Amino acid sequence: EGAVKIVGRREDREILRDRQLVLFNDVLVIAKRTARGLKFKRRLDMAGMTVFMEEDTGGTQRCFCLKLPSNELVKVLAPTEAEKGSWFTAADDVVATLAVKEQLMGIAAIQKMIDKGEIDEGVLRDFRRERKSKEPVVEATFVLAIVEQMKDPVMGLVIKDRKHHLKTYHRTFLGSEAVGWMKTHLHLDSRHQAINLGNALLRSRIICQAPREKDAPFQDGPMLYRFVECVDNARPA
């Protein structure tokens, strides 16, 4: 939350309106501060929004822009260069997180349709053929981004060597911890949604069980998992 100026136009000149921004997990609220408190002016859904820098307002370099799915442009002037950077980063992170959530939910929904036999046989054959290839089924930047966040040594999952039935499995994480992480960092409504995403990552061969159990679903519990790319290098040098 913070005070900014919204850049608008009146006739042929640019005007600045004092506004208060409040950023939530999926929306940005624009309000006006009055003697009685904040007066709601507008709500902007962050999904599908584009955030970028703008360097030309009154000779300053403190602007960033929000481009809505309707192509409407909202130009924001921050009080300082540092605050512009903070707002830009926060808004961009929300947009990126929502994109990841939407795409991963789409993957889970498609996989569910496949499991129920609701997808055309031709599409299903292509999907199965792709699954047998050397590359993961899902090769998209949003998946790579979320996987990198999950592997982050500070903000990500606890990835370490663990024992199961007297055998050590290297570089693993717990299913329950992954569910909690996805629910928190992707702002999901329930652990069930996170389990669906875990199944999507599992069936797309981005993660795997350790030890492996054929066709076993992703579990919100003490089951061990690891990233497929880690399997070949699981043993320490």
Contact 169, 226 (CB under 8 A): yes
- pLDDT, one tens digit per residue, over 94-127 is 887 777 667 666 666 665 665 666 555 555 555 5
Q: What is the number of alpha carbons within 13 Å of residue 197 lying toward its C-beta?
A: 27
Average pLDDT for runs of 10 along the chain of length 237: 82 82 86 87 85 62 85 86 86 76 65 60 56 44 71 88 86 93 81 82 82 80 84 46
pLDDT of residue 108: 62
- What span, in angstroms and rounded, lies between the C-alpha atoms of 68 and 8? 15
3-state helix, strand, coil in the chain (%, to 5): 35, 30, 35
Query: pTM of this prediction?
Result: 0.49
pLDDT of residue 134: 39
Contact 27, 44 (CB under 8 A): yes
- What span, in angstroms and rounded, lies between the C-alpha atoms of 181 and 139? 22
pLDDT of residue 174: 94
What are 34's strand-pairing partners? 37
Considering only CA atoms, give the Rg of the chain.
23
The amino acid sitting at 53 is M
Quote the crossing angle between the two packed helices 175-185 and 191-203, to the nearest 10°: 110
pLDDT of residue 136: 40
pLDDT of residue 142: 57
